[in-house]
Amino acid sequence: MRRLGVVAGLVATLACADGLGPTGRLSLVITPVFSQQALAFLTDDLNALHVRATRVPSPPGTVVFDDTVPVDTTGSADLFVKVPLANAEERFEVLLEGLRASDGVVLYMGRDTVTVSALASASAAVVPVAYVGPCGASAGCSITVAPQDSVASEGTSVLVRVAVDSAGKQITGVPVAFTNLTPALIVVTPDRRITALVGTPGGLARVLVATNGAVDTLRLNVAPEVIVTPAYATLTTVAPANAVQLSTSVSGASWASLSPAVATVSSNGLVTAVARGTAVIVASAGSGLDSAVVAVGDPTGSGDVIALALSGNRSFATSQVGKPVAIDVVVDLKAAPTDLLGAYAAQFTWNPGVLKFDSTSAGTAFLTPQPIVGTDTTGLGVLQVSDVSASGAGGVQTLVRLWFTATAAGTSSQALGITQMVSALTGSDYAKTNRVVVASGSVTVVP
């Protein structure tokens, strides 16, 4: 926002200038004084100054000056008015109007009576200025703010959209003021962005958005930050590897399993495997929540290979626009402890409108230095990746790291498909014998 600095100099030449010095001139500097309300609405739309001086009271209504000058980029305008005087002291009504030059709309106005007197060859006067439009009370404007009643996790931001309407017609360029009614929960920045503070108990945040004669209140639900640890787990259907204790960053969280036929969860976060497959475990506190993926393998017979797509060691991760995102394809042979992985071929799909593929890099040591990337269909969000090792490896291995750049806000739900996964010991293909349990994930990108 700019602050308008206008100086209107009224230079009056007295018809009978005896006693006024050699010039016979009086000067009066007129300075606009903005009310606190006007200061709250000053905007770059103000780019012209209209000044009119009218002689009062006799002869009544005589306009002695009327002109409009531009306001420069610093918000300043200088205007010197030369007016002839018939008497040693005269009064003038001065009108100051701040205009939007593109359509002539009056945004600010001040009107006052000033006196030029021979008793003071140089003096000063002020003219109070107030905001008058285009959304003054008589204009009948209304404000609508969005998004209403959305949820923001701690540390995330929401961009406020403001629409100003008059008689069904949207008006642009209207200055508005933001008032944070809940500073313990949020901060409001000049770019109209609201950020939920970290470390709060959460709750309903409110921001008052107003212009002269119109007001609306934005409601935002601030969710307490709930973080589940660990962010994923691999289990087997046989004890003792059939259970894991999860915890959260807040006390008193509620737990739920979205696939209780695969894994159940107790009221304190103890997850127990039931059957082969994957389950999402959700912890919630108020309006905040977090999720963890649990993948369950069956160790009977030749056992299962568990494969996951993880970002930052999480199945469900968050990032920001412009940031790099690394997604690891990981396998765990917990449910196939006597086997070694020797080769793999995988298909990875994602949302190319949210993540842009950059490159791949090798995983753990048993792999060749660089994974083999197949047909490039990254524009459609599909990538073929494969590798082979004659000796193989057991335990937990990172097959490949996929590098992306977060390009837009949204969610990219990753889908991992294992098309081939060969044992280095027996040469059998886990994928063909349906011995692979796959847990995919997602990356949510915020502004």
Considering the chain, what is the average pLDDT of its residues?
82
Contact indicator for 319, 410 with CB cutoff of 8 Å:
no
Q: Indicate the range of 36-40, 305-309, 347-351, 428-432 predicted with least confidence.
A: 36-40
Model confidence at 234: pLDDT above 90: yes
228-446: same fold as 139-223?
Answer: yes
**pLDDT value, residue 185:** 92
Model confidence at 45: pLDDT above 80: no
**pLDDT value, residue 111:** 87
**pLDDT value, residue 117:** 73
**pLDDT value, residue 150:** 86
What percentage of the chain has pLDDT greater than the value 90?
35
pLDDT tens figures, 381-416: 888 888 888 788 889 989 889 999 999 989 999 899
- Sign of the C-alpha dihedral, residues 341, 344, 349, 352? positive
- The fold for domain 139-223 equals Immunoglobulin-like (2.60.40)
Other CB atoms within 10 A of residue 106 CB: 15
Domain locations in the chain? 5-131, 139-223, 228-446
Q: What CA–CA distance (Å, rounded) separates 296 from 294?
A: 7
What percentage of the chain has pLDDT greater than the value 70?
80
- The fold for domain 5-131 equals Immunoglobulin-like (2.60.40)
The band of 366, judged by pLDDT with boundaries at 50, 70 and 90, is: low
Model confidence at 112: pLDDT above 50: yes
CATH number of the structural domain 228-446: 2.60.40.680
The band of 7, judged by pLDDT with boundaries at 50, 70 and 90, is: very low
Q: Indicate the range of 58-72, 189-203, 337-351 predicted with least confidence.
A: 58-72
